[in-house]
Amino acid sequence: MSTINFAAREINCKIVYYGPGMSGKTTNLKHVFSKVPTHLRGEMVSLATEDERTLFFDFLPLDLGSVQGFKTRFHLYTVPGQVFYNASRKLILRGVDGIVFVADSAPNRLRANAESMRNLRENLAEHGIDVRDVPIVLQVNKRDVDGALPTEMIRAVIDPRRELTLFEATAHNGGGVFETLKSVSRLVLDRLAQNK
Amino acid sequence: MIEPSLALYGDAFDRVDQHLEELLTATGVRYCLLVDRKGFVLSHKEALWAPRPPALDSVATLVASNAAATAALANMLGERTFSEQIHQGENGTLYVESVGDSALLTLIFDGSVPLGRVKVHTKKSIAQVAAILEGLKDAPPVQFSEDFSKGATALLDDLLG
């Protein structure tokens, strides 16, 4: 559950963008950063390697405004997608309130998508939580790449039971970015209201 | 829920606030923050003479992430945890110490403040703050009304279209 500071009248929620390397997680955050009014967002922190691959995480605080007198704030994180950074991914999932799984539509990335979702399940399980206990939204990104795989084929390996809300996206030009964020934010806030 | 949430309010908040204020005065540090393990600022104090603080959201996030990474390292080396972190630069120092399992006390100060003095006073404050946070675990769960969801959805529509 989100961190609630009654005295400061603040509610803080943590949303993590998860997915395979190069699927567009950081691009999602960069788009949000570039489009949200400056007074509603904080600094974007990127801990990246020299070639701009995420090393530890990217971080962007986002103010929603006041709900019933509580200043409500989302902290958006990405994880490093590369397989060998699993220790970092596990740490960043700590305290997560909602997840956006960013899948890659490129034809050679089907297996990477499946392995990343399996990795997410395993890392959540290590924190003692079932994947169904956290609000998750599926974003199928890079719909404009040559030979993009059919969305339903990608969903079949990530979400065979069709439990997740799915958004198609082209994050590099902002397509689907806000729709995805809005959907996961709503799920997180609904949970908060239900006191789960 | 992966991590226990902290709902800091009422008398508990006031008492934590008071301890941070006393710590600030006793040590002469610039900034003093209580951060939860998820990286959210629970309370903060700054000296009257201190320059404009850095982005506290970012500081808290990086401190909590660093603490989590340090804890993972400790486990790999057979330790339960490393309870404190010290980062010393040319002009300033960042000192972080665990407050039980739920929070981190973070102090930022310049070269004129002796580290030893900071450590002594911080350890005293931690014992007091930890006891307060421990008491919060018995607090009743937070309840929001149906209107909360409606209000939040309206704000989401405004912000994200």
> Does B86 touch chain A if contact means CB atoms closer than 8 Å?
no
Q: Which helix (H) or strand (E) holds B128?
A: helix B115-136
**What number is the average pLDDT over the span A100-119?**
97
Lowest mean pLDDT among A60-74, B56-70, B92-106, B135-149: B135-149
**Contact yes or no for A184/A137 (Cβ under 8 A):** yes
The mean per-residue pLDDT over the stretch A126-152 comes to 94
Judged by CB atoms closer than 8 Å, whether chains meet at B160 and A182 is answered as yes
Can you tell me the distance from the alpha carbon of A8 to that of A10, in angstroms, rounded to the nearest whole number? 6
Contacts of B136 by beta carbon, 8 Å cutoff, 6+ apart:
B6, B7, B8, B12
Set of chain B residues whose Cβ sits within 8 Å of the Cβ of A133 = 1
CA angle A153, A154, A159 (to 5 degrees): 105
Any idea what the Cα angle at residue A189 is, between residues A184 and A195, rounded to 5°? 130
Task: Dump pLDDT digits (tens) for A54-63.
Answer: 888 899 999 9
Q: Over 70: is that where the pLDDT of A195 sits?
A: no
Q: What is the mean pLDDT of residues B75-87?
A: 92
**Rounded to whole angstroms, what are the CA distances from B113 to A12, B31, B35, B119, B121?**
33, 12, 22, 11, 12
Instruction: Compute the average pLDDT of residues B67-95.
Output: 92
Q: Concatenate the DSSP letters of all residues of A135-188 into one string.
A: -EEEEEE-TTSTTPPPHHHHHHHH-TT--SEEEE-BGGGTBTHHHHHHHHHHHH
Could you tell me if the ipTM is greater than 0.85?
no
Diameter of chain A measured on Cα atoms: 53
pLDDT of residue B102: 84
Q: Alpha helices of A10-85 — where are they, by DSSP H?
A: 25-35
For A:67-106, CB contacts with B below 8 A are 67-68, 72, 75, 87-88, 91-96
Span B97-136, pLDDT tens digits: 999 888 999 999 999 999 999 999 999 999 999 998 888 7
- In this predicted structure, the answer to whether residue B2 has a pLDDT above a threshold of 60 is no
In A, residues 26-45, which contact B (CB 8 Å cutoff)? Answer: 36, 40, 42-43, 45
| Cα torsion angle, B10, B13, B15, B18, sign | negative
pLDDT class for B1, splitting at 50, 70, 90? very low
Its pTM stands at 0.89
Q: Is the pLDDT of residue B10 over 70?
A: no
Backbone angles phi, psi at A100, to 5 degrees: -105, 115
- Nearest residue on chain B to A74, judged by CA atoms? B40
Q: Is the predicted pLDDT of residue B4 greater than 50, yes or no?
A: no
B55 and A42 in contact by Cβ < 8 A? yes
CB contact under 8 A, B57 and A42: yes
Residue B2 contacts residue A94 (beta carbons within 8 Å): yes
What CA–CA distance (Å, rounded) separates B15 from B18? 5
pLDDT tier for residue B3 given thresholds of 50, 70 and 90: very low
For B26, the token pair is 């006793």
CB A76 within 8 A of CB A60: yes
Q: What percent of chain A has pLDDT over 90?
A: 68
pLDDT of B7 higher than 70: no
Is A130 touching B (CB cutoff 8 A)? no
B12-50 confidence digits (pLDDT tens): 778 888 999 999 999 999 999 999 888 888 889 999 999
Contacts of B144 in chain A (CB under 8 A): 68, 192-193, 195
* Residues from chain A contacting residue B2 (CB–CB below 8 Å): 93-96, 124, 127-129, 134
Asked if residue B144 lies in contact with residue A68, where contact means CB atoms within 8 angstroms, the answer is yes
Which residues of chain B from 10 to 39 reach within 8 Å of chain A, CB to CB? 10, 13-14, 17, 36-39
Q: What is the mean pLDDT of chain A?
A: 91
**Inter-chain touch A42–B141, beta carbons under 8 Å:** no
pLDDT tens for each residue of A28-72: 999 999 999 999 999 999 888 878 888 888 999 999 888 888 888
